A and B are shown apart, each in its own frame.
Chain A
Amino acid sequence: MPEIKVTPLGAGQDVGRSCILVSIAGKNVMLDCGMHMGYNDDRRFPDFSYITQNGRLTDFLDCVIISHFHLDHCGALPYFSEMVGYDGPIYMTHPTKAICPILLEDYRKITVDKKGETNFFTSQMIKDCMKKVVAVHLHQTVQVDDELEIKAYYAGHVLGAAMFQIKVGSESAVYTGDYNMTPDRHLGAAWIDKCRPNLLITESTYATTIRDSKRCRERDFLKKVHETVERGGKVLIPVFALGRAQELCILLETFWERMNLKAPIYFSTGLTEKANHYYKLFITWTNQKIRKTFVQRNMFEFKHIKAFDRAFADNPGPMVVFATPGMLHAGQSLQIFRKWAGNEKNMVIMPGYCVQGTVGHKILSGQRKLEMEGRQILEVKMQVEYMSFSAHADAKGIMQLVRQAEPDNVLLVHGEAKKMEFLKQKIEQEFHVNCYMPANGETVTLLTHPNIPVGISLGLLKREMALGLLPDAKRPKLMHGTLIMKDNNFRLVSSEQALKELGLAEHQLRFTCRVHIHDTRKEQETVLRVYSHLKSVLKAHSVQHLPDGSVMVESILIQATAHSEDPGTKVLLVSWTYQDEELGSYLTSLLKKGLPQAPS
């Protein structure tokens, strides 16, 4: 039996180092190649030895697909392609291809230069790896080889994030990567057509959450910033360089524009400038509003947001500063935080989750006195706010996507096991499809029922179509013909042609049946009664009364004779060919019920 096999090397009942192997109709595809944030040892990368112990990976994989530029989806790519060794094609969208190397380089710098690790991939390796990348457009069908084709769909989440459909023949699977079903200030919502794949592999980060409307969140955020700025306070927003930062920038930028505010907004430089450049370029990947207005003004060309300089932090008066990193654990954001923490007019807004142990986590949990390095005690008087801006689909969003794609099976990855359990149950209950949630290294095997193409001649098709008068949608339809299996293909031809091709003579098979009817009248009259009865019942068929005293229904012959022994019983002789079996048997059963008691 044909089957699809899925083995997660990472992200199976877990978040981080997404890496899923799919073999579908003999083709092996690797989906994503990420690293794990939580580990610094071998566990941070997927275990590629699962694929092969020794030997090039190229021989075992047909292609690699990267869904978006987050490191937990692409972080292991140079390691995989250059250090383990893979020379086949790597597919990603254009924005991902553009931004991915920046992040990889940053990641490399932190690991090698700051933490001093050796045996890590080099800048050259990143470059070499990116040379193997093939960029794809949205909705473009890319033929990887003769049989395997892939197609990208818009996924929201971050710039350039895509869902991929992998298709071999009539078997297909969809991998969502990370996606977002509600649009935000700079990206649209994920969308997929009714592609009805055999398998949908979806992320499930928020499997057990239904989120509030984003408008409340945005409004709260803006209101807090606005109030602080009006009071003359300073607002610090620690962010990571890419993704949410751009959304918040747009949000503040438009708000400043609308409300005619004058307070300066700064963005700490570095990565962001490069990234913003790409955001400006890939306008087609953003949301409706930005796409429609970029001719007048590109929304990413910020009017109010300027580059930050270290010296600005001491400037008097209100200001808003976006600074990296997002959890206040090091770098510029922490420096600014220390400067501003003492003033109760100021505010820090944490737009995302903070890992335990970071300054961000401490202040969010209400700690007001922080011990900094050098035994200094920092008293936090500034206000601390938490706003959750996240770009993953919530439980409803996931269900909505499943509904849109109409898959036969669903497989959950990129989430916690406990939460997946709930969603799995829901999906099975509401869509009546199988749902799987394999752990890392666990293989799921699905049976598929692929279609087998059969050639049919147009003449036969038209002839058979003409038989049914009413239109019929894509329902199965009964056809008469002969199936010929020859030269490794199937053909459906009319029986005459089959006979001709095979050089056989035609045999006729005829059924004859006798029906006894109790009727005292003469034969002719019985025939007439039968005729009128059939005429009234079988309106859709042609019923004829022939001059020789028999009745023809289509090609079925009915004759009446008197019973040799009992003159009160008439014997109806019904005769039909094998082709008319359906009608013939219906007719006999009809006649067996007897004739209606006609008034005359």
Chain B
Amino acid sequence: MAAHLKKRVYEEFTKVVQQQHEEIASKKLRLTKPSKSAALHIDLCKATSPADALQYLLQFARKPVEAESVEGVVRILLEHYYKWSGTDPSTSLRYTCSGKSKTDQYPKYKENDASVRLKIASLLGLLSKTAGFSPDCIMDDAINTLQNEKSHQVLAQLLDTLLAIGTKLPENPAVQARLIDVACKHLTDTSHGVRNKCLQLLGNLGSLEKNVAKDTEGLATKDVQKIIGDYFVDQDPRVRTAAIKAMLQLHERGLKLHQTIYNQACRLLSDDYEQVRSAAVQLIWVLSQLYPESIVPIPSSNEEIRLVDDAFGKICHMVSDGSWVVRVQAAKLLGSMGQVSSHFLEQTLDKKLMSDLRRKRTAHERAKELYSSGEFSSGRKWGDDAPKEEIDTGAVNLIESGACGAFVHGLEDEMYEVRIAAVEALCMLAQSSPSFAEKCLDFLVDMFNDEIEEVRLQSIHTMRKISNNITLREDQLDTVLAVLEDSSRDIREALHELLCYTNVSTKEGIHLALVELLKNLAKYPTDRESIWKCLKFLGGRHPTLVLPLVPDLLSTHPFFDTAEPDMDDPAYIAVLVLIFNAAETCPTMPALFSDHTFRHYAYLRDSLSHLVPALRLPGRKLLSSPVSPSITPHEDPSQQFLQQSLERVYNLQHLDPQGTQELLQFTIRDLQRLGELQSDLAGVADFSATYLRCQLLLIKALQEKLWNMAAPLYLKQSDMASAAAKQILEETYKMEFMYSGVESRQVVIIHHMRLQAKALQLIVTARTTRGMEPLFGMCEKFLQEVDLFQRCFITELPHLQDSFVDKLLDLMPRLMTSKPSEVVKILQATLRQSTFLHLPLPEQIHRATATIIEPAGESDNPLRFTSGLVVALDVDATLEHVQDPQTIVKVQVLYPDGQAQIIHPKPSDFRNPGPGRHRLITQVYLSHGAWTEPCQIEVRLLLAYDSSTRISRAACLDGAEALPLVENSIEGTIPFSKPVKVYIMPKPARR
């Protein structure tokens, strides 16, 4: 041990020293304080023209400056600033540069030196942002320069610098007051840029508590809001925008805006410039949130309304603005105005139709009426929508001041950005108001037919979110279900999700939904799972509506026995899923089942247990469910079974090897089966099974006869042991990286297993190779790993009593000094003696899985393309329980010639439809030389891992210092999806 430690220390020492040496050298070059400012100074003095000086400054700006030298640099910059400005030669200091006198420099630069000053000013701003530097010392200088400056651009830049300084010193009221003073002084500047910056300064630094300022006499309290408000009517739209933004900034900083601003802001809504209107909409929204209950008068009448209602009306009006930027802004903000009264809210969906001055009902109203009158199909006559009563011409108000029809317009907008914003807003408002939800349903349903998929998807999601508040009418359901035929999988799945949560009002509705879903199933068989899941919820939610449909659905007949349906038909399974889930809460339903239905139930309960609930079946049918009533519900029997079988394995210590192996085999088999049956336990079961398999392999390898014989004789048979070692290694990586929810306790065990595998590898190599040279390296490496293990998992070591590593660490001093052959011997003995470690199970563990949906791999038509060129293959896969798939999931393409290609999908190719689920939709580019005939390539998904990340994470958790792990990190990939075969045919290029 001591020797080992000594060795290590020596190693570290040499390494570290070398590195430090380099670093110091580089530091010296770059960052030492005197050299920095001096170099700048010399550079600037050397500059003979503004362009030169600008170049130097630009170069300078690229390098960082440390906090303590900032001030020096700033002084130099300022000095040069005066030089370039030529306004204040008296302040210039002595120049160390020789050869050039000032007098011949000035006239040359005077014309176009503003750019240099601009750069200096911006540098000042950058420098004052340096962490650890307190910029109050340069504030005075900055303000002084400001007073002498003539160029508007430089002025604006200097104000920006002041802003940077001010934001760095938020706790200093004196500084703030001073800066605000400066800002107010320059507000009257003729350049919009300067005024913009001043307003920005006011917005960012304007005092929060007015009382504080009152104490300081002489400085009259500056009402920042009033000053900013005055600039709402500036002649330049950019300044107006800046003023509104400054006001919003004040609000963000916690200052309560005055209600008086509201009227000013309302006037800005009719501004000519879109950016002003857009900002004004925001300001109005802020005010409506601040003073929702104040009362404002309605112009041209004596009535008064709540401010939030008034603001709501005004923002609604902006939904039909001329600029789409404003429309998006307005539509978005509408969603967050929850306090608005329902009367106004409902107006947003109102649009009075008329035709030739006669009142006409909307298609929505007609549909509703048809529905309530009991007629089913819509009238197929011309004039079905014929206008009814005459309208009083005076009463029609074509441009309402209120909220009328805002959403009707928003949802019909030309730009899909506006439509999406409107849908989102509808969603938010409907969530807070059930009655509104009911009303907006028709409009949302209409959006299912939008021309842009994104909008359709968004409206389906919205509908799902508000589905608690609504019940779909039959005609609405009809429209919803029509979308089931959409060719986009995203849309269909979103719709299935929606149907899971939908309330349907009639049994016809349920029937309709079922029929459409079955149609969907026939058209897109890949949707099977999703449709079954959807029917599960649909059945569970509407047991009483399903009940009258049962005989029909099962096509039972009161007198005749009907043919038994095909059990493997997905459509029949779908029907059964619906019925069984409804039967769970409807005890009378099973009476309607025929015999084969019960048989099918038993089968489905077993094969699709996640979709079919346990039913209380009457009489003898009870035998189909093994659940005895004595078991308390919270003690899940399968969970118990898992625990028991694992305990059984862990309890065996000194059984005969044969028995152990058999028991392990059985347990592994049991666990695998359990995983298939109980999807919620699949992760745990697989995880434990994998661990047991490792153990089994290890035992088997150690049982090999090879150990008993002389080394040279077993070259051939040793294959088995080394293969076992290799497999164990692979499995341990799988255990470590393929499961989510693995905790550090498990990681230790996994690493321990890996260590054992490595020991095995070492032993096998030692037995099978002649000569000692290669062994030296291997031994050393192995010992390093043991050491690393010890350091990484020092806190966990007490749990590893009596294990391989425990024993090994005891023997460490001996191992360090002994020869490789001896080491191998010791290892062999320890490996045999060590006990089987108990693998504690984590709370939640899930195996990462991936299914490639597309390519389906069934096509007989090869994908033809010209050799040497590229063909794009669409890949569509679902990933479950993969953390951070953007970085670790790769696509592998295996060509028949053994050539493998790994493709990294773009991060944007991953979508996240639900927690723990991801969807990869990407394109893989294939290319190959010409083939004579079509052949299959394999596409699969890989999980890339990097062992260093996990260990260093563990190390950090344990509080140990970062370790030099670089040489130990092993990067690899685990295939985690079934490979899919794609038939391709690269044709030779035609000449």
Contact = CB atoms under 8 A, between A and B. Distances in A.
A473 B233 contact: yes
A288 B415 contact: yes
Given A215-B446, A288-B416, A471-B233, A395 B382 contact: no
20 contacts: A183-B412, A183-B413, A183-B414, A192-B322, A208-B354, A211-B353, A213-B351, A213-B363, A213-B443, A215-B411, A218-B449, A287-B414, A288-B415, A289-B416, A386-B383, A399-B398, A404-B322, A422-B357, A430-B398, A471-B235
Interface string A464-499: 011001111110000000000000000000000000
A395 B398 contact: yes
B635 interface: no
Contacts of B354: 208-210, 395
A53 B693 CA distance: 106
B488 A258 contact: yes
Interface in A6-58: none
A215 B235 contact: no
A384 B383 CA distance: 12
A214 interface: yes
B452 A289 contact: yes
Given A185-B451, A214-B412, A287-B414, 19 more contacts: A208-B357, A209-B356, A210-B352, A212-B385, A213-B351, A213-B446, A215-B447, A216-B446, A220-B363, A365-B382, A386-B382, A395-B398, A396-B399, A462-B190, A466-B188, A469-B188, A472-B233, A473-B235, A474-B235
A497 B397 CA distance: 57
Nearest to A216: B363
B487 interface: yes
Contacts of A364: 382
Given A216-B364, A430-B398, A472-B233, A209 B355 contact: yes
B486 A258 contact: yes
A524 interface: no
A379 B692 CA distance: 81
A216 B362 contact: yes
Interface residues of B, number: 54
B396 interface: yes
Contacts of A366: 381-382
Interface residues of A, number: 61
Given A213-B446, A400-B320, A259 B414 contact: no
Contacts of A254: 451
Nearest to B234: A471
A219 B398 contact: no
Nearest to B396: A426
Contacts of B621: none
A510 interface: no
A194 B322 contact: yes
A245 to B, nearest CB: 18
A219 B449 contact: yes
Given A289-B416, A469-B188, A212 B363 contact: yes
A222 interface: yes
State the 5 A-B residue pairs at the shortest beta-carbon distance, nearest first. A216-B363, A183-B414, A215-B446, A473-B233, A471-B234
B239 interface: yes
Main secondary structure of the interface of B (DSSP, over half): loop
Interface string B324-362: 000000000000000000000000000111111100101
Contacts of B450: 215
A193 B381 CA distance: 42
Given A188-B414, A422-B357, A425-B393, A471 B231 contact: yes
Contacts of A222: 449
Contact of A384 (B231, B362, B382): B382
Interface in B507-541: 523
B961 interface: no
A396 to B, nearest CB: 6
Nearest to B317: A403
Contact of A210 (B351, B479, B485): B351
Contacts of A194: 272, 322
Contacts of B398: 210, 395-396, 399, 426, 430
Contacts of A213: 351, 362-363, 408, 411-412, 443, 446
A383 B451 CA distance: 28
A422 B396 CA distance: 10
A385 interface: yes
A585 interface: no
B62 interface: no
A208 B356 contact: yes
Contacts of B446: 213, 215-216, 219
B518 to A, nearest CB: 15
B595 interface: no
A153 to B, nearest CB: 11
Interface string A395-417: 11001100110000000000000
Nearest to A462: B190
B705 interface: no
A288 B418 CA distance: 12
A365 B382 CA distance: 7
A257 B487 contact: yes
B380 interface: yes
A422 B392 CA distance: 11
A288 B414 contact: yes
A220 B449 CA distance: 11
A403 B399 contact: yes
A587 interface: no
Among B355, B360, B382: residue with most chain A CB under 10 A: B382
Contacts of A469: 188
A597 interface: no
Contact of A260 (B381, B447, B487): B487
Contacts of A218: 449
B324 to A, nearest CB: 9
A246 B11 CA distance: 79
B369 interface: no
B485 A259 contact: yes
A189 interface: yes
B175 interface: no
A208 B399 contact: no
Nearest to A196: B272
Interface string B231-244: 10111000100000
B190 A465 contact: yes
B841 interface: no
A329 interface: no
Interface string B214-237: 000000000000000011011100
A223 interface: yes
Interface in B232-267: 233-235, 239
Given A258-B486, A399-B398, A383 B230 contact: no
Contacts of A192: 322
A500 to B, nearest CB: 26
